[in-house]
């Protein structure tokens, strides 16, 4: 985590909270695989950072529910052309309570602004 002991408690709290949220959204199987693939000395800090700051900080903030964050992710990942991450977050959107109809409409809405190639997502997701 940190090389500074005064930050260890904060890192641990963010990591633990982040792991709960990450597993809740993406599922244990996906997270276990991501962690197993991210255990080299080089990649481990990246996994820790994503878990702490994306999942432990941003996803736990007040103001948006998880389902709202999932809707935002669908549009952003489409706009950024991040197909593999989009597929993961589409499954996460279902885990966060979005219906197939809501997901489909989010994809269609984003397609208008991000471009038609994403229509294939409706067939493959």
Q: What is the mean pLDDT of residues 12-41?
A: 91
* Domain end among 61, 92, 111: 61
pLDDT of residue 65: 97
Interatomic CA distance for residues 55 and 74, integer angstroms: 16
Tell me, yes or no, whether 3 and 35 share the same domain.
yes
Task: With cut-offs at 50, 70 and 90, classify the pLDDT of residue 46.
Answer: confident
Owning domain of residue 72: 65-125
Tell me, yes or no, whether 4 and 51 share the same domain.
yes
Tell me, yes or no, whether 69 and 122 share the same domain.
yes
**How distant is the alpha carbon of residue 25 from its chain centre?**
7
Listed in sequence order, the residues at least 6 apart from 33 whose beta carbon sits closer than 8 Å to its beta carbon are: none
Interatomic CA distance for residues 96 and 99, integer angstroms: 9
Task: With cut-offs at 50, 70 and 90, classify the pLDDT of residue 72.
Answer: very high
CB 57 within 8 A of CB 97: no
Tell me, yes or no, whether 106 and 81 share the same domain.
yes
pLDDT of residue 57: 96
Is the pLDDT assigned to residue 125 strictly greater than 70? no
CATH number where 73 lies: 1.20.1290.10
pLDDT of residue 4: 74
Tell me, yes or no, whether 9 and 21 share the same domain.
yes
Is the pLDDT assigned to residue 121 strictly greater than 80? no
Tell me, yes or no, whether 8 and 56 share the same domain.
yes
Task: With cut-offs at 50, 70 and 90, classify the pLDDT of residue 64.
Answer: very high
Tell me, yes or no, whether 56 and 69 share the same domain.
no
When divided into structural domains, the chain yields a total of 2
Tell me, yes or no, whether 26 and 53 share the same domain.
yes
* Domain end among 61, 83, 110: 61
Tell me, yes or no, whether 38 and 74 share the same domain.
no
Q: Which of 105, 35, 44, 46 lies closest to 74, judged by CA?
A: 105
Task: With cut-offs at 50, 70 and 90, classify the pLDDT of residue 36.
Answer: confident
Is the pLDDT assigned to residue 118 strictly greater than 60? no
* Domain end among 15, 44, 61: 61
CB 103 within 8 A of CB 90: yes
Is the pLDDT assigned to residue 38 strictly greater than 80? no
């Amino acid at each position: 985590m940190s090389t500074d002991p005064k930050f260890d408690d904060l890192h641990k709290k963010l990591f633990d909270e982040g792991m709960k949220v990450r597993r809740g959204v993406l599922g244990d199987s996906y997270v276990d695989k991501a962690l197993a693939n991210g255990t080299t000395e080089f990649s481990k800090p990246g996994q820790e950072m994503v878990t702490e700051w994306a999942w432990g900080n941003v996803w736990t903030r007040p103001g948006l529910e998880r389902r709202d964050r999932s809707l935002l992710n669908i549009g952003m990942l489409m706009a950024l052309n991040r197909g593999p991450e989009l597929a993961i977050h589409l499954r996460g959107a279902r885990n966060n309570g979005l219906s197939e109809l809501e997901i489909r409409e989010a994809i269609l809405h984003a397609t208008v602004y991000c471009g038609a190639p994403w229509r294939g997502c409706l067939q493959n997701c």
